[in-house]
Homo-oligomer: A and B are copies of this chain.
């Protein structure tokens, strides 16, 4: 075993010297360029192994103008939904030999700062933006900086975007409830903890309205509550909804996390699900499966994987500006489990 003392890392110069060749030659064998005599190639390889040399990737990035990293800008990355997106991202980046930096954002300011700085800092070759909406000026600045960007669960006309049909998803959820005989349906909308620009829950509400219209059900604003995107948000909203004299027979929550909160509220109120209350969520996270919660399944992991894959393609083809951005639409699907039944007294 060698000494424990810290030692300066060998450079390409050291390798060249030991192998008695020029740095250019070492660089060539490093990058698999042809035109190196097998004998010298082998000699260089031997020295590399002997010195335990690895190229300094920072220095390499200087000339190659590539870092091999992509940046993921994501709000609240520990939430199950985002976590599952990241799982897909990891699969795609690892497959293509890229690394990724995680930029977690909790406020809109932080988000805008990342949008502004990251393209110029050049620590990443591309940006994957999850559930966040760049404004027009930002989108333009991405292109000017030559920074490839892909939006996942978000849309901008200038950027490759990957969206799911939230209206259709909301429609599927409510239609299912209606088909089971429900007429009084509560909706728990989501309000982001901070002032992000966009709220997919509004589209899901639009889907609800379409289903209502179709069934000739009167939309009652009283049955729509806005709550935080988490369990306690769902729980509190449900508590409100369910303690009214004319409580709804079913609740559609705009996220599974909130729907789990609804389940908790029902439990604390000794309301049995689905006998006395039907519940449907949105997202299709693993927790929904554990809780046997009916939900609208988004292709979450696939969104992350496909988004990352598209981003890497943009990076490698270097087709930043000349190409028109792609718009990819993904579908949701109804997942019926144990939390939906016909309402009490339904004939």
Show the binding face of A for B, using Cβ within 8 Å: 1-7, 9, 52-59, 61-62, 67, 69, 77-78, 83-84, 86-87, 90, 94, 99-104, 117, 120-123, 137, 140, 143-146, 231, 260, 264, 287, 290-291, 320-321
Q: Which of B94, B103, B121, B290 sits near A260, CB closer than 8 Å? A: B290
Q: Given A104-B94, A137-B1: A9 and B120 within 8 A (CB)?
A: yes
Docked CA distance A142–B156 (Å): 45
State whether B62 touches A320 (Cβ < 8 A): no
State whether A58 touches B123 (Cβ < 8 A): yes
Protomer copies: 2
Which residues of the partner chain B approach A62 to less than 8 Å between Cβ atoms?
58-59, 62
State whether A7 touches B144 (Cβ < 8 A): yes
Q: Which of B69, B120, B146, B291 sits near A54, CB closer than 8 Å? A: B120
Docked CA distance A168–B150 (Å): 48
Q: Which partner residue on chain B sits nearest A140 by CB separation?
A: B4
Q: How far is the CB of A59 from chain B (nearest CB, A)?
A: 6
Which residues of the partner chain B approach A146 to less than 8 Å between Cβ atoms?
6-7
Q: How far is the CB of A115 from chain B (nearest CB, A)?
A: 13
Q: Given A58-B58, A83-B78, A123-B58: A5 and B69 within 8 A (CB)?
A: no
Given A7-B144, A9-B120, A9-B145, 9 other A-B residues pairs in contact with their CB atoms under 8 A: A1-B140, A5-B144, A5-B321, A6-B321, A7-B145, A54-B121, A78-B84, A83-B83, A264-B290
Q: Which partner residue on chain B sits nearest A120 by CB separation?
A: B54
Q: Given A5-B321, A121-B54, A137-B1: A101 and B99 within 8 A (CB)?
A: yes
Which residues of the partner chain B approach A102 to less than 8 Å between Cβ atoms?
90, 100-102
Q: How far is the CB of A194 from chain B (nearest CB, A)?
A: 15
Q: Given A54-B121, A57-B122, A58-B122: A231 and B290 within 8 A (CB)?
A: yes
